[in-house]
Every structure is written in C-alpha cells, then in structure tokens.
C-alpha cells in the first residue's frame, strides 16, 4: 500500500513510518518539522519506498494514497502551549484537511487522539465511554479541546460523508527518539539524571501517569487501522500506573545518577491521575503492551545518553 503518515518526522510518527517500510509498504511522510526532526528519519531516509514532504497540514493536501495515519500535532505540554493558537489550528484544520483528503480518495484514516480528551478524569481508570472533565478555557485547552474537536470531525465525516475514520486515544508514550528537550516527564527526568541535575518533580509527585513504550503503541495503532469493522475510539496505553515520584526514583536508580529530586509548583490543570482501561483494545484487537517499564526505560536511557554524547548537554528546562 501507499500510506500517508502526517507528523511522520515526530517521535511516534517516525517509528510508525519505519514499521510500515519494514512491512514493505510505500510511505509518504508529511511534516512541517514544527517539533519533528529529520534525524528521526535518518535510518530510512534513503529507502526508495520512502518520501518526505515538508508541508503544514493546516493547508489543504492533494495526493494519492491508500491509507492515512494522522499524527501531525505538537504533543508535549511545553510544545503545545508555546503557541496555543497554532496548536488548536493544527488539531482542527489539520484534521479537517486530512478528512477531506480521505473523503475525496475514499480511503481509511486513523486519527491519533489522546488521553487528554479525558482532562482531569473523575472516572478511573478511563474507559472510552467516559466523556471527560476538561477545562475549556485553561492552558491545556488548546490541545485538549483541539483533539476533542478533531474527534468530533472524524465521527461527523464518518456519519455524514461515510468516511472510514478511526480514532485511537494514546496515553503517555515514551521511548527512543523522544525529544530530550520537550519537557515531558520521562525525557526531562532522564536528561536531568544523566546530567546530574536535580529532577524537577512538579507538585508533591503523587499525581499518576501510565507510560507505554512506543513499539507497543505503534502496534496498537496499526491493528486499529487494519480492522475495518471498528471505528473506535480505542484507548492505547499501558495500564501500569505509577506516581511521578516513583518514576523519578526509578530513573535515578536506573541511570546510577548522583542527583536528587526538587519540588516545583504544579502546572495549572495538571491531571491528578491517569490510567487507561484497555479492555476494548484487548477484546477487539487482541492488543496489550508487551514491553515492561524497566526495559522501556533502559532503552530510552541508552538513546538519550547517546544524544547527549553526540550533541552535548541539554540546557536546564
């Protein structure tokens, strides 16, 4: 197949491009490099079945493909809050343009949505039928509401135009190629630990997250895209839940760092807890994460250690 991956130069997108190429597909990666990097494409840039197109998905897209994975959107709080107008425009207009393309071509399209649609959840763990608890006027809204509107578009294009749209809700994902400067908790803690800087825990560190290794997420995304019968939304994440303080302790132990933790103010609207209920993914797609946190962190530490060795220190965030 000829497959379009928007956001393909980003963290998850580059792994998806690589997997699709390894399976023998032709891959068109569309990205404006807002947060993505060409280095992420290094290992397969020379593959004749791979094509990189530098394009902003806020602008209409014209091309011929058989399947679309739509991932283009800044994803870390630091990056999506840097220019909130850009973020909400990308989430809405980007999805609109991708759905228009899918409609014109009559091809399936998978939207990468997020656990952020649940906001600061009252229902725990989060099931797909939960409608969420999102502040519509807060600092995270550009992303949360942008993705909620993107989901609405995907479902309305399905109902109104018959577009074969699917939705996955991805929970916190980590692994090699994560941007060491994106301020996400896994990358931030590893960078700080390897540079012997204090690990910055926001708030008391008792807030929880559930971290899924990138290969597992890519596998889930592919399974949902492959099955015609189910549009989703489908949660993709690792149900192992831990506190941010536990994560800091794990990173300190695994890096052998001499560093320590410091506490900083909790950002506004930071969700108190997050864990996916993955029954739907398990039952319908036979999917569940395979890589343990320990193994995943080990591989991510190797990656970030190499980046620091190649490019020098990352400035304190």
Q: How many residues bind ligand NAD (CB under 6 A)?
A: 28
Between 244-255 and 293-311, two packed helices, what is the crossing angle to 10 degrees?
Answer: 60
The residues that touch ligand UDP, with contacts defined as CB under 6 A, are 76-77, 172, 183-185, 188, 200-202, 207, 209, 244, 266-267, 270
CB of 3 to ligand UDP, least distance (A): 28
- The catalytic residue among 69, 80, 118, 143 is 143
Q: Rounded to a whole number, what is the distance in angstroms from the first to the last CA of the chain?
A: 42
Residue 87: C-alpha distances to residues 75, 149, 216 (Å): 9, 12, 26
Q: Which residue matches tokens 């379009």?
A: 4
291 near ligand NAD (CB under 6 A): no
Which range of residues in 32-40, 97-105, 291-299, 301-309 is near ligand NAD by CB under 6 A? 32-40
209's contact among ligand NAD, ligand UDP, none, with CB below 5 to 8 A by partner kind, is: ligand UDP
Kindly tell me which residue out of 68, 99, 102, 112 binds ligand NAD, with binding defined by CB under 6 A. Answer: 112
Q: Is 160 a catalytic residue?
A: no
Kindly tell me which residue out of 57, 142, 163, 199 binds ligand NAD, with binding defined by CB under 6 A. Answer: 57
For ligand NAD, the binding residues in 208-267 under the rule CB under 6 A are none
Please enumerate in sequence order all residues whose Cβ is within 8 A of that of 306, keeping only pairs 6 or more positions apart, or say none. none
Are residues 126 and 277 in contact, defined by beta-carbon separation less than 8 angstroms?
A: yes
Kindly tell me which residue out of 27, 41, 52, 74 binds ligand NAD, with binding defined by CB under 6 A. Answer: 74
Residue 110: C-alpha distances to residues 60, 226, 298 (Å): 18, 10, 30
Please enumerate in sequence order all residues whose Cβ is within 8 A of that of 143, keeping only pairs 6 or more positions apart, or say none. 73, 74, 75, 77, 80, 81, 87, 88, 91, 114, 116
176's contact among ligand NAD, ligand UDP, none, with CB below 5 to 8 A by partner kind, is: none
Q: Which of 223/273 has CB closer to ligand UDP?
A: 273
90 near ligand NAD (CB under 6 A): yes
Kindly tell me which residue out of 72, 142, 245, 281 binds ligand NAD, with binding defined by CB under 6 A. Answer: 72
CB of 270 to ligand UDP, least distance (A): 5
CB of 17 to ligand UDP, least distance (A): 23
For ligand NAD, the binding residues in 158-187 under the rule CB under 6 A are 170, 172-173, 179
Q: How far apart are CA 310 and CA 69, in angstroms?
A: 31
Q: Which of 20/259 has CB closer to ligand NAD?
A: 20
270's contact among ligand NAD, ligand UDP, none, with CB below 5 to 8 A by partner kind, is: ligand UDP
Q: How far apart are CA 233 and CA 91, in angstroms?
A: 17
Do the bridges between strand 208-210 and strand 241-243 make them parallel or antiparallel, or are there none, so unpaired?
A: antiparallel
Q: Which residues bind ligand NAD (CB under 6 A)?
A: 7, 9-13, 31-36, 56-58, 71-75, 90, 94, 112, 114, 170, 172-173, 179
Catalytic positions are: 143
């Amino acid at each position: 197949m000829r497959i379009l991956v928007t956001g393909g130069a980003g963290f998850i997108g580059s792994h998806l491009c690589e997997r699709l190429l390894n399976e023998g597909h032709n891959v068109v990666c569309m990205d404006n490099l807002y947060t993505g990097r060409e280095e992420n494409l290094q290992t397969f840039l020379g593959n004749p079945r791979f094509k990189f197109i530098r394009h902003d998905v806020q602008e209409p897209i014209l091309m011929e493909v058989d399947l679309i994975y739509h991932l283009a959107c800044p994803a870390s709080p630091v990056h999506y809050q840097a220019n909130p107008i850009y973020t909400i425009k990308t989430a809405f207009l980007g999805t609109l343009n991708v759905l228009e393309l899918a409609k014109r071509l009559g091809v399936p399209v998978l939207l990468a949505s997020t656990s952020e649609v649940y906001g600061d959840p009252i229902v725990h763990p989060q099931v797909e039928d939960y409608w969420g608890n999102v502040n519509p006027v807060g600092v995270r809204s550009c992303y949360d509401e942008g993705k909620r509107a993107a989901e609405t578009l995907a479902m309305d294009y399905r109902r109104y135009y018959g577009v074969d749209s699917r939705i996955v809700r991805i929970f916190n994902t980590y692994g090699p190629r994560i941007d060491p400067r994106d301020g996400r908790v896994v990358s931030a803690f590893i960078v700080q630990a390897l540079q012997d800087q204090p690990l910055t825990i926001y708030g008391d560190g008792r807030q929880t997250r559930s971290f899924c290794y990138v290969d597992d997420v890519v596998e889930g995304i592919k399974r949902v895209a492959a099955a015609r019968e189910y549009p989703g939304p489908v949660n993709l994440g690792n149900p192992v839940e831990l506190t941010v303080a536990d994560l800091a302790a794990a990173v300190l132990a695994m890096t052998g760092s001499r560093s320590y933790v410091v506490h900083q103010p909790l950002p506004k609207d930071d969700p108190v807890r997050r864990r996916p209920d993955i029954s739907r993914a398990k039952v319908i797609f036979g999917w569940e994460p395979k890589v343990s946190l320990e193994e995943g962190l080990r591989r991510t530490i190797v990656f970030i250690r190499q980046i620091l060795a190649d490019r020098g220190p990352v400035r304190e965030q």
